[in-house]
C-alpha cells in the first residue's frame, strides 16, 4: 500500500521516485498512491510507455482518468497528444499503445458511481478563462457533483487567496514551480491535501501550470 492515509498531506517529487515494471513489456509505473488490490488496485500513478510498447486490453471496472504529459498515447479509438485529458467511464475498455513513447498521469477506479460521461479534451485547443485573482487563468476539464478538475495557469509572482479545501485537493505540477507556505514544488511534483486543509498558494519568477482536482477526497 502506498500513501493510503487520506487524512495526511502528501507532497512527492515524482522525478525522484522509483519506476516499477508492469505486466506489459516496455510499460513502467511510478506509484503515487495505491491500495493493495494488485492489478485491480485503486491507484494514482505516472505511467511511461517506451516507443512501440502496448498494454493488454483491459476493462475499466472503476473508471480511468488520465492526462498525457509527454509524447502521444493511442488506442483503437484515436491518438492523444501531449496535453490531452481523457475520462473513460466504468465499463469501458481499450487496447492502449504508443508508437513514439509517452508519459501519462493516471487515476484508476476513482469515479463516482453515476459518473458515466466519456471525456476527451485537447487542452492545446481550449480557451483559458480568467481566474479569481489577477495572473491566474483556468481551463475547466470536468465537473461532477462536488468533483472539479481543471488546468490552472499561474503568471509569475501571482498570489492566491488563503482558502480551505472542502473535499480535499490534488495537484500535479506540469510546468514551472508552484509554492505555498509549506514548500516549493517543481515540475513533476504531486500534492494531495485532505478534506478541510488550507493553504495560501503563490508563484515566484518561474510561474507555473498545474492540473488540479478538488472535492473528490471527502
pLDDT tens across the length of the chain (218 residues): 999 999 999 999 999 999 999 999 999 999 999 998 788 899 999 999 999 999 988 899 999 999 999 999 999 999 999 999 999 999 999 999 999 999 999 999 999 989 999 999 999 999 999 999 999 999 999 999 999 999 999 999 999 999 999 999 999 999 999 999 999 999 999 999 999 999 999 999 999 999 999 999 98
Say yes or no: 103 and 138 in one domain.
no
Q: Which three cell numbers stand for residue 204?
A: 515566484
Q: Is residue 78 part of a domain?
A: yes
The answer as to whether 12 is a domain residue is no
Q: 77 and 152: one domain?
A: no
Structural domain harbouring 65: 18-122
* 149 and 209 part of one domain: yes
79 and 153 housed in the same domain: no
For residues 112 and 161, membership in a common domain is answered with no
Q: Which pTM value belongs to this model?
A: 0.97
Residue 73 pairs in a beta bridge with 80
Note the pLDDT of residue 218. 83
Residues 51 and 118 in one domain: yes
Same domain for 53 and 144, yes or no, is no
Whether 115 and 191 share a structural domain: no
Q: Are residues 210 and 137 in the same domain?
A: yes
Domain boundary (82, 103, 122) is at 122
Same domain for 109 and 177 = no
**Could you give the C-alpha distances from 82 to 65, 70, 102, 124, 168, in angstroms and in order?**
15, 5, 8, 8, 27
Q: How far is CA 198 from CA 59, 108, 154, 201, in A?
A: 37, 26, 19, 10
pLDDT at 38: 85
Run of H or E including 137: strand 136-144
Angle at the Cα of 18 from the Cα atoms of 10 and 147, rounded to 5 degrees: 40
Burial classification of residue 196, based on how many CB atoms lie within 10 Å of its CB (0-12 exposed, 13-18 middle, 19 or more buried): exposed
CB 66 within 8 A of CB 99: no
Looking up residue 55, the CATH number of its domain turns out to be 2.60.120.10
CB-count exposure of residue 163 (10 Å: 0-12, 13-18, 19+): middle
Confirm whether 210 is domain-assigned: yes
Q: Is residue 145 part of a domain?
A: yes
> 14 CB contacts (<8 Å, ≥6 apart)?
30, 32, 46, 188, 189, 190
Residue 194 pLDDT: 98
In this structure, the dihedral spanned by the alpha carbons of residues 176, 178, 179 and 184, taken in order and rounded to 10 degrees, is -70
9 within some domain: no
Pairwise CA distance, residues 196 & 120, whole Å: 30
Cβ count within 10 A of residue 91: 11
pLDDT value for 85: 98
Domain match, 109 and 26 both? yes
Residue 13 lies in a domain: no
Amino acid at each position: 500500500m502506498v500513501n493510503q492515509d487520506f487524512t495526511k498531506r502528501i507532497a512527492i517529487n515524482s522525478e525522484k521516485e522509483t519506476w516499477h515494471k508492469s505486466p506489459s513489456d516496455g510499460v513502467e509505473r511510478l506509484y503515487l498512491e495505491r491500495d493493495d488490490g494488485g492489478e485491480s488496485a485503486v491507484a494514482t500513478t505516472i505511467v511511461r510507455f517506451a516507443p512501440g510498447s502496448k498494454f493488454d486490453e483491459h476493462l475499466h471496472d472503476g473508471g480511468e482518468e488520465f492526462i498525457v504529459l509527454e509524447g502521444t498515447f493511442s488506442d483503437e479509438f484515436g491518438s492523444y497528444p501531449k496535453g490531452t485529458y481523457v475520462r473513460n467511464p466504468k465499463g469501458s475498455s481499450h487496447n492502449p499503445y504508443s508508437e513514439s513513447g509517452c508519459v501519462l498521469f493516471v487515476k484508476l477506479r476513482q469515479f463516482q458511481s453515476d459518473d458515466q460521461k466519456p471525456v476527451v479534451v485537447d487542452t492545446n485547443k481550449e480557451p483559458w478563462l480568467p481566474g479569481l485573482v489577477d495572473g491566474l487563468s483556468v481551463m475547466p476539464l470536468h465537473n461532477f457533483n462536488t468533483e472539479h478538475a481543471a488546468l490552472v495557469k499561474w503568471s509569475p509572482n501571482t498570489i492566491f487567496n488563503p482558502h480551505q479545501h472542502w473535499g480535499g485537493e490534488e495537484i500535479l505540477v506540469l510546468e514551472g514551480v508552484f509554492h505555498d507556505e509549506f514548500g516549493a514544488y517543481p515540475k513533476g511534483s504531486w500534492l494531495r491535501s485532505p478534506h478541510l486543509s488550507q493553504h495560501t498558494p503563490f508563484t515566484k519568477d518561474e510561474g507555473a501550470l498545474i492540473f488540479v482536482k478538488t472535492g473528490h477526497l471527502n
